[in-house]
Amino acid sequence: MLTILHKKRLLPELLQDYVDIHCHLIHDIDDGPKTLYDSYHLIKRAMELGINGFIATPHIMADMYPNTPQLISAQYDELKQHLEEKDCLPKVFKVAAEYMVDDNFEIQLNNKNLLLLSDRYVLIEFPFIQIPMNIEFIIDSLFALDYIPVLAHPERYRYFHHQGDFLTLLKQKGCKFQINALSLSTYYGNSIHKAAMHLLEEGFYSFLGTDIHNQLHLSKLSEIKVKKNVERLITPLIENTKNIFD
């Protein structure tokens, strides 16, 4: 009986027909795949694991990846055509962006020139070193313009490990949170895994994303074993992600 109760499942078993809302799949545009060949094989392998929907989210980051909606869309179109030619087009294949909250983001926000996950949802990330000084203003501005911010992987911002009250404030404002699948393991380190488990248990997350960039990420994801108590917590996130973004 104890063996049955404590049996672990591989994470991909829970991701069948899932739509990944945070992934770096588009070639030669950020720190994801470098070539069409790399993109194709990354997507093909993810589909073999059971994931059949993707919203590609390349970085838009002023000082490192100053991508534009036009450039992203052109690269996406090229990749989509390649996937069609290879007969490997996923059931859902869309494009958005992962926006670093920087000065450039404020300009794009004011111009209402954003690539959205869906309808009103916009994927954002914070710098890893320190929290942006104007973040409350940015979050309020997003809501004022009828957007819903989705903060990528809050567990990876180490300053939140000791400033949890600020995440509570963002949640109260209506901000949504997305956990990285790899944070269910110790891939990013023990402290990040511990923070992810805490936020998961406290009900902070709304969505799950893989944040895959390469084959290593996918290999590590495929090896993650999920305990029953964790499965119970992440299953609603997976279903919510599918229901909203499929």
User: For each of the chain's 246 residues, which pLDDT tens digit applies?
Assistant: 344 455 799 999 999 999 999 999 999 999 999 999 999 999 999 999 999 999 999 999 999 999 999 999 999 999 999 999 999 999 999 999 999 999 899 999 999 889 999 989 999 999 999 888 889 999 999 999 999 999 999 999 999 998 879 999 999 999 999 999 999 999 999 999 999 999 999 999 999 999 999 999 999 999 999 999 999 999 999 999 999 998
Round to whole Å and give the CA distance between 82 and 88.
9
Q: Which of 165, 154, 134, 166 is nearest to 211 (CA)?
A: 154
What stretches of 57-120 adopt beta strand conformation (E)? 59-60, 92-95, 98-100
Predicted pLDDT at 163: 80
8 Å CB contact between 121 and 150: yes
Q: Please spell the DSSP secondary structure of 187-216, one letter per residue.
A: TT-HHHHHHHHHHHHTT---EEE--B-SHH
Task: Please name the residue that has the structure tokens 């949640």.
Answer: 171
Other beta carbons within 10 Å of 167? 20
Task: Output the pTM of the full model.
Answer: 0.95
Q: Give 110: exposed, middle or buried? Use CB within 10 Å, 0-12, 13-18, 19+.
A: exposed
CATH architecture under which domain 2-245 falls: Alpha-Beta Barrel (3.20)
Residue ranges per structural domain of the chain: 2-245
How much is the pLDDT for 6? 55
